[in-house]
Structure 1
């Protein structure tokens, strides 16, 4: 796996409104957006940074990209006692 390198972006740096809406709760829960080429990568708040998700710079279908990000973010294996474990209201265990 490649190492994630790049400066941290702000939510407003993401062009697509659908993707911004999908990742806003994730960022509030500690996820980071890092610049990677003309796109970005979302990194989970786990101690070992177990999950990284690509965020397209110019998606063909922003709605589908937002759904994919939400779905993949819900799979992050956070510890049972973590307050960030239940981002979407679904149990991840």
Structure 2
């Protein structure tokens, strides 16, 4: 992760902004990288990385793409099974 953290509310597209807000509230990290930003999953090893463009041709389709790719992250950080693959800490 290189760029500075940015707010989901900064995205110009309403559809994408709503998806980003939902993901950031679940622990995803949004950073200023690439053409607009990059989303990193909440896992320790950041198993899922999603590029977010600033001016997509079809914002609705791009929002669906981001949602679909977000499902690739297998476990939330507080899931005890995440420790088995090195993606979290078990108390």
Aligned pair 1:24/2:21, yes or no? yes
Give 2:87's aligned residue.
none
Following TM superposition, by how much is the alpha carbon of 1:20 offset from its aligned partner in structure 2, in angstroms?
A: 0.7
Cα distance between partner residues in 2 of 1:23 and 1:11: 5
* DSSP 3-state at the match of 1:36: coil
* DSSP 3-state at the match of 1:65: helix
Q: CA RMSD in A?
A: 2.0
TM-score relative to the length of structure 1? 0.77
- Point out 4+ residue stretches in structure 1 off by more than 6 angstroms: none
Length, aligned pairs only: 80
Unaligned runs of 5+ in 1: 84-93
* DSSP 3-state at the match of 1:41: strand
* DSSP 3-state at the match of 1:46: coil
**Higher helix fraction (1 or 2):** 2
